[in-house]
């Protein structure tokens, strides 16, 4: 018996994905996904369309969101699964997080203008599907278009990460708030792509401990951003902290994401999948 093909983290044009919510679902269905969560950044607006499309394709669907959180100077992402979009604590909290994005984007435009790249804010807006959700990814696509770097990935490396000219500091939600909102909405909280953070082992342990103390339930063991070694490392973390395990492509779009919807490795067999509690 093969395990179910669950993919519990991906993006649509409602945040920084390349496909509309219904097209994400259609692609997932084509790829053999059995259980899908759409988890747009700081936004719930794609869930109704995705759920309707999933019903049409006979695909089980979970409401999701990926909340941007500040942890000291770092940004950490917390996925909420099984959230009720009608929950006002969650909806209002996310609206407050989104409210900072446009001003941040304008400051990114100014920062890039200061090194001679003019019009980046307006250029990024051409790629935005939801005016409330301007992201670094939209800047990256525009900068790749004008040839500032070879591709989206190298645009990030050269311009959009901390220490590079287009990076501006920003304060997101607190970890406490993010878990409070997700739990108020009846959801399970999941630490997204733990292998991506620029944190030492000790600092990561502080995140895990705080997350557990706040009632956080799960961790992405298998992620589009993890290699095999990272998967094994975070499987050990799941065992040590008693976290449920998630499996997540973090798909953003064809040509941009190395792992397609449903294309991730299976979870290590001894772990308890987060979807057993959804
Ligand atoms: P933002 O929420 O606006 O800061 O944008 C974060 C998004 O940018 C992430 O969700 C990824 O989709 C993308 N991203 C961040 N870092 C990188 C990177 N080094 N390479 C490619 N994409 C990245
Ligand atoms: Mn993204
Ligand atoms: Mn993320
Ligand atoms: Mn993501």
Count: domains in the chain: 2
Mean pLDDT of the chain: 98
Same domain (yes/no): 107, 91: no
Same domain (yes/no): 122, 252: no
**Confidence check: pLDDT of 130 > 80:** yes
The ligand that comes nearest to the alpha carbon of residue 249 is 4
Q: Would you say the CB of residue 153 lies under 6 angstroms from ligand 1? A: yes
**Is residue 168 in a domain?**
no
Same domain (yes/no): 116, 193: no
Structure tokens at 66: 């990926």
Q: Would you say the CB of residue 41 lies under 6 angstroms from ligand 1? A: yes
Same domain (yes/no): 93, 178: yes
Structure tokens at 193: 């792509």
**Is residue 254 in a domain?**
yes
Q: Would you say the CB of residue 159 lies under 6 angstroms from ligand 1? A: no
Same domain (yes/no): 131, 90: no
**Is residue 166 in a domain?**
no
**Confidence check: pLDDT of 123 > 90:** yes
Q: Give 3's pLDDT tier (boundaries 50, 70, 90).
A: confident
Same domain (yes/no): 183, 254: yes
**Confidence check: pLDDT of 83 > 90:** yes
Same domain (yes/no): 92, 179: yes
Last residue of a domain, one of 130, 160, 190: 160
How far apart CA 190 and CA 194 sit, in angstroms, is 10
Same domain (yes/no): 181, 266: yes
Can you give the residue range of the structural domain that contains 146? 101-160
pLDDT tens digits for range 88-101? 999 999 999 999 99
The CATH number linked to 273 is 3.20.20.140
Q: Would you say the CB of residue 252 lies under 6 angstroms from ligand 1? A: yes
pLDDT tens digits for range 268-278? 999 999 999 99
Going by C-alpha positions, the residue among 99, 24, 80, 67 that lies closest to residue 218 is 80
Which of 13, 15, 16, 71 should be mutated for ligand 1, with most atoms under 8 A from CB? 16
**Confidence check: pLDDT of 81 > 70:** yes
Same domain (yes/no): 259, 131: no
Same domain (yes/no): 185, 269: yes
**Is residue 165 in a domain?**
no
Same domain (yes/no): 35, 116: no
pLDDT tens digits for range 168-198? 999 999 999 999 999 999 999 999 999 999 9
pLDDT for residue 1: 55
Mean pLDDT of the region 55-78: 98
Say how many Å lie between the CA of residue 261 and the centre of ligand 2.
14
Going by C-alpha positions, the residue among 246, 202, 242, 207 that lies closest to residue 225 is 246
255 backbone φψ class: left, alpha, beta (φ>0; ψ -120 to 50): left
Same domain (yes/no): 144, 228: no
pLDDT tens digits for range 99-110? 999 999 999 999
State the closest ligand 1 atom to the C-alpha of 157, by its place in the atom list counted from 1. 19
Last residue of a domain, one of 138, 160, 182: 160
The ligand that comes nearest to the alpha carbon of residue 15 is 2
pLDDT tens digits for range 9-34? 999 999 999 999 999 999 999 999 99
The CATH number linked to 144 is 1.10.150.650
């Amino acid at each position: 018996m093969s395990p179910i093909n669950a993919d519990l983290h991906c993006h649509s044009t409602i945040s920084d994905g390349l496909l509309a919510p219904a097209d994400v679902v259609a692609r997932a269905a084509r790829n053999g996904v059995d259980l899908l969560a759409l988890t747009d950044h700081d936004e719930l607006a794609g869930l109704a369309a995705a759920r309707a499309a999933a019903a049409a394709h006979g695909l089980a669907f979970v409401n999701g969101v990926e909340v941007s959180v500040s942890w000291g100077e770092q940004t950490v992402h917390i996925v909420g699964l099984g959230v009720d979009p009608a929950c006002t604590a969650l909806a209002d909290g996310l609206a407050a997080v989104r409210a900072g994005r446009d001003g941040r984007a304008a400051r990114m435009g100014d920062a890039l203008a200061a090194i001679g790249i003019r019009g980046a804010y307006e250029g990024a807006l051409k790629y935005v599907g939801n005016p409330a959700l301007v992201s670094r990814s939209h800047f990256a696509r525009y900068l790749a278009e004008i040839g500032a770097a070879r591709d989206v990935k190298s645009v990030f490396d050269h311009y959009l990460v901390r220490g590079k000219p287009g990076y501006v500091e920003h304060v997101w939600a607190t970890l406490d708030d993010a878990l409070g909102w997700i739990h108020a909405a009846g959801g399970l909280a999941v630490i997204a792509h733990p292998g991506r953070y620029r944190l030492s082992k000790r600092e990561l342990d502080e995140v895990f401990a705080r997350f557990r103390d706040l009632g956080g339930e799960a961790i992405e063991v298998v992620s589009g951003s993890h290699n095999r070694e990272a998967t094994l490392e975070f499987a050990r973390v799941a065992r040590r902290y008693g976290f449920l395990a998630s499996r997540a492509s973090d798909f953003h779009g064809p040509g941009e994401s190395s792992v397609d919807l449903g294309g991730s490795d299976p979870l290590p067999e001894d772990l308890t999948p987060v979807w057993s509690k959804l």
